[in-house]
A and B are shown apart, each in its own frame.
Chain A
């Protein structure tokens, strides 16, 4: 299975700023997911995305968050007006139609100062 890549590997931002995390490259006919892991905590589901639509989102995924595929390949997670508690590892994952295994990217470490 092709690897999932994410950029940047580490993002440092000031509180209140907007950040965009990217998952690249992307093939068609896939489900995409964003998860986050606050340091020392569990990996938590944020949102799933298929066919250019959100399939499901958790209670964490509020109006501060959005996802899209702006150019048909990259899959992005946008966090508006970042807060200190948004500091975490953010993982993108993919799943092929007809299979159940999720393949995770290496993650983006977001640090909000």
Chain B
């Protein structure tokens, strides 16, 4: 059974700092890995998706990497802003087609202080 762990559970940084969020998963036979953002009381917004054959994906100030063999992914946020404050969730996808489903970590609560 896939288990996804995220560290740290919470992180507080000053505005402008670069930061790294970590995600680990126990079963390396993943289909892909996704990073989501969750604002309080809101749904999940997909940030980046890395296919199992890829090493990294970039979107603006966000860069996500994937190392399947070690069961790790990182989300790098450059030049953090107060608007980046949210919970960041990592999710490992198993299977494709009709068997596709996500296993989530508990998230990292990020606070960027002005």
Bitwise interface map of B from 12 to 50 toward A, beta carbon under 8 Å scored 1, else 0: 000000000000000000011010100001111110010
- In the complex, whether B104 has a CB less than 8 A from a CB of chain A is yes
Contact between A102 and B102, CB atoms less than 8 A apart: yes
B36, chain A: closest CB distance, angstroms: 8
The DSSP consensus for interface residues of chain B is strand
Residues of B in contact, count (CB < 8 Å): 27
- In the complex, whether B74 has a CB less than 8 A from a CB of chain A is no
- How far, in whole Å, are A103 and B44 apart by their CA atoms in the complex? 8
Point out residues on B near A: beta carbons under 8 Å. 4, 31-32, 34, 36, 41-46, 49, 51, 89, 91, 93, 95, 98-107
Contacts of B102 in A (CB 8 A): 35, 43, 45, 102
- How far, in whole Å, are A35 and B43 apart by their CA atoms in the complex? 11
Q: Could you list 18 examples of A-B contacts with CB < 8 Å?
A: A42-B4, A42-B106, A45-B101, A50-B98, A56-B101, A91-B43, A91-B44, A100-B31, A100-B34, A100-B49, A100-B100, A101-B34, A102-B46, A104-B36, A104-B43, A104-B46, A107-B42, A109-B41
Contacts of A52 in B (CB 8 A): none
Contact between B34 and A102, CB atoms less than 8 A apart: yes
Contact between B104 and A42, CB atoms less than 8 A apart: yes
B8, chain A: closest CB distance, angstroms: 16
The DSSP consensus for interface residues of chain A is strand
CB nearest to A92 among chain B residues:
B43
- In the complex, whether A17 has a CB less than 8 A from a CB of chain B is no
Closest A-B pairs by Cβ, 8 of them? A55-B98, A104-B44, A43-B104, A106-B43, A104-B43, A45-B101, A42-B106, A42-B104
